[in-house]
Structure 1
Amino acid sequence: MTRGDAGVQSTDVALTTILTDTQGTTGMFSDVHITGCCNNSNFDELVSCFVDTNQLCRHLVLTEQTRINRVWITGAMVLMLRQDEMNSRAPVAWDYPGASAGAGKPMMSPTAPRAAEMVAVDVAGGSSHGGGSQSGGRRMGEFVLMREDITPFGLPDLMKASAEVLGNGTLGSAYKAAMRNGVTVAVKRMRDMNRVGRVEFEQHLLMLGELRHPNVLPPIGYHYRKEEKLIVSEYMPRGSLLYVLHGDQSPNRLVLDWPARLRIAVGIVRGIAFLHEKLGIPAGRLMSMDGADFDAPPPPPPHGNLKSGNILLNADLEPRLVDYGFFPLVNPAQAPQAMFAFRSPEGTTRGVVSPRSDVYCLGVVLLELVTGRFPSQYLTTTRSGTDVVHWSAAAVAEGGERDLVDPVIAAGGGEAAVRLLRVGVQCASAETECRPSMSEAAWMVEEIAGGGAS
């Protein structure tokens, strides 16, 4: 173990990112005040003694008081999944007697909750339990890799990876995993995805993995069990649009100017229009036994969870949409809490969503880009953020749109920023019939970017 600029380091992963706070809540991670530096020559053995990472921190033997940024742990993906399992307290249907992970060290405790044990055992074992992949992809034990153009890896490789928490969203927790073969990926542990069985789940994931568009990030692999699903995709170094706009408060943070925001808006509408073309189901009519026809229930939104937290940015600030197409997989009882489309007016009042609900979500994102404000629509219980929908609609009605434009982009955006705000307001109309179709919304944004007349 050596002492570096960032604090105490061992080999691979930031412990501070997997700690819960003193109240035991999850989702927000920050630096932790630990008094000094661990002298233990075999840090992996020390880590393996603790399932609860808070216990691990309290146990560290230290030599001096230090404010540290990172403590690194080998094989921490297993620890993160354990901590996530214990905090979610979700039931799991596993039954294995023991496990090992990381660098061959035992990763279980006689007092550890069974749910945490089972996660470690399955991900470390990598053995197949029948029900192989139906089509496409390479099965690597219990992991299916859907891309032929990357270095092969399996579940044991993922669980031994250097890991870092990226976020905890409505559908699950996301991690960055840097494997020893040099491949870095994003891993999402999905919750509430038992609407269909294994065959249907695999067929749907393989279909999503075949989608190709510059602004869509398809999954590259997955791991399936009834109570445990990991979906793997490429890692995007800039993080989410939500983080860039609101979360990064560092001195060297990236500030998005008007050209960058407009380019991001164009990429978003191109990606979501593509998804509506490829995943959209035409509205239909049904016929009753007596021959009368009537409207069928509206088809589901092709994305269903469009928000700035699910818009990732690559190194060139090109947006990539994620968490799309999961509507057919999510348990119906959990969908209103898990899918942002249900935050639309029709979703909150009638519990019904459609492709026009995606248009509403797009409107929220466009208003977020123009105003720079954190939308209260993203929150379910906390009274904070800005109701960008009503605020912007009122400003448009009163002719005060310019006052809402983020000062960072006001000079560069000019009339184009005002026009984009108006498009956002139209997309977020309370009545679905007043919203444009997704193709129409994409055309309006493209016209603004191309300098077309207002």
Structure 2
Amino acid sequence: MGSAQEAERNKLVFFEGSQYTFDLEDLLRASAEVLGKGSVGTAYKAVLEDGTTVVVKRLKDVAANRKDFEQQMELVGRIRHRNLVPLRAFYYSKDEKLLVYDYMPTGSLSALLHGSRGSGRTPLDWDTRMRIALGAARGISHIHEEGGGKFTHGNIKSSNVLLTTDLDGCVSDFGLVPLFSAAAAANRIAGYRAPEVIETRKVTQKSDVYSFGVLLLELLTGKAPNQASLNDEGIDLPRWVQSVVREEWTAEVFDVELMRYQNIEEEMVQLLQIAMACVAAVPDQRPRMQDVVKMIEDMRQFETDDGNRQSSDDKSKESNGQTPPQQATPEARTPSAITP
């Protein structure tokens, strides 16, 4: 192959609508700071000479050949939603596989939720957690609707939920699983892995729902799913929550940082019920992501236009005799009524 053709092949491929105008040389000259080393590769914050800031993800152990890689990136690059971090460009050569994303200065949900806990920290309040959960749910639901309903995320976890300046949740790193071998994908990049993924080594939309359920439990408990417990073995967050709920100590589940907020117990219990439905052991018993979005939206519909909460009495009047989801009986509103 001639050197001109080789140079043409080994260049950054931008997607339509991208406002960026740099090339690979600009990117290689940029000052780079490591943002994090993840299961699919290392993410860098790159500041170009003209001041443009992007995130470059350097993938490791990619199994896909050039054609398959390019086809998958074309699919991913076309997916757009306000709650998804768009893929702006990619680069493929024998030695390097790079992805270019917008830089999100507010960082990840993981850092915001778990970073510098202790005195002087501003807790993540309940309304913000709900907004992040709803944004992430909408983003994942949109992914599931793409590609004839066959598309999956495959790597849902709090470090892959990035935040806008308004603290809206935006999901990143979607659609990368097909780039890796089945063994590598199952062992390394299945996010919060559903039980069946460990056996089948295949990610599905139902396993995405499980991972999202674990993410909701993380928002509710303040505990990272891989956080070491006293015996230095990582806790299985769904199993731990189920055991606490089974003992009817549901209040013990919730993040102590949430205890300062008033009138949120009912919503916390409702979101816990949604999370528990998502982490059902049997995949077919889990709701679809679009149903999860609706359940969370229904929880939020009782806020007035000025953002104030209405009393429970007002809520029941406004429901016009219809019982909101997850509240079919008065008992369902009491924490001890949640069943694992």
TM-score range relative to shorter protein: 0.7 to 0.9
* Matched residue, 1:178: 47
Q: Structure 1 residues 245, 312: closer, same or farther in 2, change over 3 A?
A: same
Q: Could you tell me how far 1:148 is from its partner in structure 2? A: 4.0
Q: Could you tell me how far 1:342 is from its partner in structure 2? A: 7.6
Q: Structure 2: which 5+ runs fail to align?
A: 303-323, 328-340
Q: 1:239 aligns with which of 96, 103, 107?
A: 107
Q: 1:145 aligns with which of 2, 8, 14?
A: 14
Q: 1:154 aligns with which of 23, 31, 39?
A: 23
Q: Structure 1: which 5+ runs fail to align?
A: 1-125, 133-140, 283-300
| 1:360 partner amino acid | Y
* Matched residue, 1:121: none
The structure whose residues are more often helix, as a share, is 2
* Matched residue, 2:318: none
| 1:201 partner amino acid | F
CA distance in structure 1 between the aligned counterparts of 2:269 and 2:257, rounded to whole angstroms: 14
TM-score, normalised via structure 2 length? 0.80
SS at match of 1:232: strand
* Matched residue, 2:235: 386
SS at match of 1:334: helix
Q: Could you tell me how far 1:405 is from its partner in structure 2? A: 1.1
Q: Could you tell me how far 1:238 is from its partner in structure 2? A: 1.3
* Matched residue, 2:182: 332
Q: Could you tell me how far 1:355 is from its partner in structure 2? A: 1.3
Q: Structure 1 residues 248, 221: closer, same or farther in 2, change over 3 A?
A: farther
Higher relative contact order (Cα pairs below 8 Å, separated by 6+ residues): 2
CA distance in structure 1 between the aligned counterparts of 2:85 and 2:239, rounded to whole angstroms: 31
Identity of aligned residues (%): 38
Q: 2:193 aligns with which of 314, 334, 343?
A: 343
1:129 partnered with 2:21: no
* Matched residue, 1:221: 89
Tell me whether 186-195 or 341-350 shows the greater mean CA deviation: 341-350
Q: Structure 1 residues 414, 150: closer, same or farther in 2, change over 3 A?
A: same
CA distance in structure 1 between the aligned counterparts of 2:62 and 2:19, rounded to whole angstroms: 27
SS at match of 1:436: coil
| 2:249 partner amino acid | G
* Matched residue, 1:437: 288
8 A Cα contact 2:162 2:172, kept in partner? yes
| 1:162 partner amino acid | S
Q: Structure 1 residues 443, 225: closer, same or farther in 2, change over 3 A?
A: same
Q: 2:246 aligns with which of 397, 409, 425?
A: 397
Q: Deviations 1:356-386 (Å, cap 9, x if unpaired)?
A: 100110010000001111112x89xx94453
| 2:48 partner amino acid | M
1:167 partnered with 2:167: no
Tell me whether 328-337 or 160-169 shows the greater mean CA deviation: 328-337
Q: Deviations 1:321-355 (Å, cap 9, x if unpaired)?
A: 11111122222231112222582111123434321
SS at match of 1:333: helix
| 1:129 partner amino acid | E
* Matched residue, 2:155: 305
> Over alpha carbons, which structure has the higher Rg?
1
8 A Cα contact 1:342 1:348, kept in partner? no
Q: Could you tell me how far 1:130 is from its partner in structure 2? A: 5.8
8 A Cα contact 1:280 1:355, kept in partner? no
8 A Cα contact 2:221 2:253, kept in partner? yes
SS at match of 1:200: helix
Q: Could you tell me how far 1:149 is from its partner in structure 2? A: 4.5
8 A Cα contact 2:190 2:203, kept in partner? no
8 A Cα contact 1:198 1:224, kept in partner? yes
8 A Cα contact 2:209 2:286, kept in partner? yes
8 A Cα contact 1:240 1:308, kept in partner? yes
| 2:21 partner amino acid | P
Q: Structure 1 residues 355, 151: closer, same or farther in 2, change over 3 A?
A: closer
SS at match of 2:170: strand
TM-score, normalised via structure 1 length? 0.61
CA distance in structure 2 between the aligned counterparts of 1:252 and 1:149, rounded to whole angstroms: 40
8 A Cα contact 1:192 1:330, kept in partner? yes
8 A Cα contact 1:215 1:320, kept in partner? yes
